[in-house]
């Protein structure tokens, strides 16, 4: 939920082909049950819970972990928000339920292996491979808490709201004065004054103020020591026994820190990610999947952005952002073509290369080899300029491939859109 709010609080978007698209960051996203376990290790109060992946495990968990509980919370685990208001493709409404203990097994069985569609998953939804069984807490107040990275202050930013459990974007829109923001000096770390400012903004009703301050400091410690890019708790709740509890857990981590957090990065769940982006990451390609019809392969992020903008200008829509970089190998070009052609929505491919460090003949050889390995069923428009351009054009010509050549970027975009037949 924090994503929409942070688009306003922290500039973290990019303009793609005339539309605002969320910038994909190279970051690890883990499930709620994994985040709760990690929070517990840092002394953060979390509900007692266990993740299960089969009905047999559900029975065992109820018997061993919750023998005396009359009610439990059953939470579907997918890497997307909006689960509570989501709908399973099977017809079951809601990905989060509070039910009697004797109904947990039946409900979990209806969730496991099914596809849950939420406002963040898109219509394709995501498969539920695990459900998280938690004790039902007696909550007296719900608040919102998050820590993210703020480019404006070049450090962590704590965001809080005295209302929680619902969309933070809606709360920020309706009650902007209820949002508290506390930038933290990365060199000094969080002070008691910083933590107190956050707690006072959250305005807890029953929790001890000093205990709440300590919980905020522990959350900040977790954020820094594990190289988080986002820590979000919605709701951060108060219980009837006056405890401050993280009743939800959303954690993202900086991929650049993977080398020093191997145990955390081992938690990655590729089944929840866009398979195109997983394949691109393995090939060390910069790829972001979009929803258009023209697949793009470009060298250089700036040129890739310009290519998508000009496609849009001519009435088309880009299917992706794909920057092969300035030193791509022939094999990487082949992998790039495999990713583009695996997208059923792609009806044409535009290759736009301005060779500097990247040599046009390498790109051309990659295109030819890719055509031998994958069935090219869509038109391919190629614009090559720069280093070894003549060799590149000769390789393409001698390959016997049916290609549409272009003289410049504008010409290439126009021909790619025309190839769609629109």
Residue with tokens 């090939």: 283
Residue with tokens 């947990």: 104
Q: Is 144 a catalytic residue?
A: yes
The response to whether 111 counts as a known ligand-binding position is no
Asked if pLDDT for residue 21 goes beyond 70, the answer is: no
Can you give the pLDDT at residue 60?
Answer: 96
Asked if pLDDT for residue 343 goes beyond 50, the answer is: yes
Cα atoms in the Cβ-side hemisphere of radius 13 Å centred on 80: 26
Sign of CA dihedral 131, 132, 138, 142: negative
The response to whether 48 counts as a known ligand-binding position is no
Q: Identify the helix (H) or strand (E) that includes residue 354.
A: strand 348-355
In 189-328, which residue ranges form alpha helices assigned H by DSSP? 192-202, 209-225, 262-265, 275-282, 301-313
Number of Cβ atoms within 10 Å of the Cβ of 355: 19
The response to whether 263 counts as a known ligand-binding position is no
Asked if pLDDT for residue 16 goes beyond 70, the answer is: no
Task: For residue range 377-421, list pLDDT tens digits in order.
Answer: 899 998 988 889 899 899 988 888 888 888 899 999 999 999 987
Strand order in the sheet with 126-127: 87-88, 115-117, 126-127
Number of Cβ atoms within 10 Å of the Cβ of 186: 13
The response to whether 276 counts as a known ligand-binding position is no
Asked if pLDDT for residue 91 goes beyond 70, the answer is: yes
- The one catalytic residue in 144, 287, 293, 414 is 144
Q: Which residues pair with 350 in a beta bridge?
A: 296, 381
Can you give the pLDDT at residue 413?
Answer: 94
The response to whether 355 counts as a known ligand-binding position is no
Q: What is the mean pLDDT of the chain?
A: 89
Q: Is 293 a catalytic residue?
A: no
| Contact by Cβ (8 Å): 342, 373 | no
The CA-based angle 79-82-84, given to 5 degrees, is 110
Task: For residue range 279-314, list pLDDT tens digits in order.
Answer: 888 888 889 988 899 999 998 889 999 999 999 999
| Contact by Cβ (8 Å): 250, 233 | yes
Q: Which residues pair with 156 in a beta bridge?
A: 149
Asked if pLDDT for residue 230 goes beyond 50, the answer is: yes
For the chain, the farthest-separated pair of C-alpha atoms sits apart, in whole angstroms, at 78
Can you give the pLDDT at residue 374?
Answer: 80
Residue 19's pLDDT band, with cuts at 50, 70 and 90, is very low
Residue 358's pLDDT band, with cuts at 50, 70 and 90, is confident
Sign of CA dihedral 211, 213, 219, 222: negative
The response to whether 83 counts as a known ligand-binding position is yes
Task: For residue range 37-90, list pLDDT tens digits in order.
Answer: 999 999 999 999 999 999 999 999 999 999 999 999 999 999 998 899 999 999
Task: For residue range 149-178, list pLDDT tens digits in order.
Answer: 999 999 999 999 998 877 778 878 888 889
Q: Do strands 130-135 and 71-77 pair parallel, antiparallel, or not at all (unpaired)?
A: antiparallel
Q: Identify the helix (H) or strand (E) that includes residue 339.
A: helix 330-342
Can you give the pLDDT at residue 281?
Answer: 84
pTM of the complete model? 0.77
- The one catalytic residue in 105, 132, 220, 232 is 232
From residue 212, how far is each of 188, 224, 242 by CA, in Å? 21, 19, 10
Q: Span 136-147, mean pLDDT?
A: 95
The response to whether 273 counts as a known ligand-binding position is no
Q: Identify the helix (H) or strand (E) that includes residue 127.
A: strand 126-127
The response to whether 325 counts as a known ligand-binding position is no
Asked if pLDDT for residue 255 goes beyond 80, the answer is: yes
Q: Span 333-344, mean pLDDT?
A: 88
Can you give the pLDDT at residue 144?
Answer: 95
């Amino acid at each position: 939920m924090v994503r929409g709010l942070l688009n306003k609080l922290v500039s973290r978007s990019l303009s793609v082909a005339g539309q605002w698209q969320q910038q994909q960051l190279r970051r690890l996203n883990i499930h709620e049950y994994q985040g709760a376990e990690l929070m517990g290790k840092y002394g953060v109060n979390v509900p007692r819970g266990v993740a299960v992946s089969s009905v047999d495990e559900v029975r065992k968990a109820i018997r061993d972990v919750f023998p005396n509980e009359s009610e439990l919370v059953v939470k579907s685990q997918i890497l997307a928000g909006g689960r509570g208001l989501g709908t399973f493709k099977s017809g079951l409404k809601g990905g989060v339920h509070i039910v009697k203990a004797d109904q947990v097994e039946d409900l979990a069985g209806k969730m496991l292996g099914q596809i849950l569609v939420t406002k963040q998953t898109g219509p394709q939804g995501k498969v539920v491979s695990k459900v998280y069984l938690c004790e039902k807490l007696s909550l007296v107040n719900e608040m919102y808490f998050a820590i993210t990275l703020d480019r404006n202050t070049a450090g962590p930013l704590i965001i809080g709201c005295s209302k929680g459990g619902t969309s933070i974007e809606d709360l920020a829109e309706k009650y902007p004065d209820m949002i508290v923001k506390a930038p933290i000096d990365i060199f000094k770390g969080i002070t008691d004054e910083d933590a107190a400012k956050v707690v006072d903004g959250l305005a807890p009703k029953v929790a001890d103020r000093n205990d709440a301050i300590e919980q905020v400091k522990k959350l900040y410690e977790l954020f820094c020591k594990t190289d988080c890019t986002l820590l979000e708790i919605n709701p951060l709740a108060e219980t009837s026994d006056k405890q401050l509890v993280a009743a939800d857990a959303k954690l993202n981590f900086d991929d650049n820190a993977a080398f020093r957090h191997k145990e955390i990065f081992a938690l990655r769940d590729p089944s929840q990610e866009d398979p195109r982006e997983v394949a691109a990451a393995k090939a060390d390609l910069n790829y972001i999947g979009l929803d258009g019809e023209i697949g793009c392969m470009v060298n250089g992020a700036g040129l890739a952005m310009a290519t998508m903008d000009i496609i849009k200008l001519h009435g088309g829509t880009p299917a992706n952002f794909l920057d092969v970089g300035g030193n791509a190998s022939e094999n990487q070009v082949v992998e790039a073509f495999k990713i583009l052609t695996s997208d059923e929505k792609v009806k044409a491919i535009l290759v736009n290369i301005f060779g500097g460090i990247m040599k046009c003949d390498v790109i051309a050889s990659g295109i030819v080899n890719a055509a031998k390995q994958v069935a090219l069923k869509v038109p391919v428009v190629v614009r090559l300029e720069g280093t070894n351009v003549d060799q590149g054009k000769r390789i393409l010509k001698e390959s016997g491939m049916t290609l549409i050549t272009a003289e410049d970027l504008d010409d290439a975009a126009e021909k790619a859109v025309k190839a769609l037949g629109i």
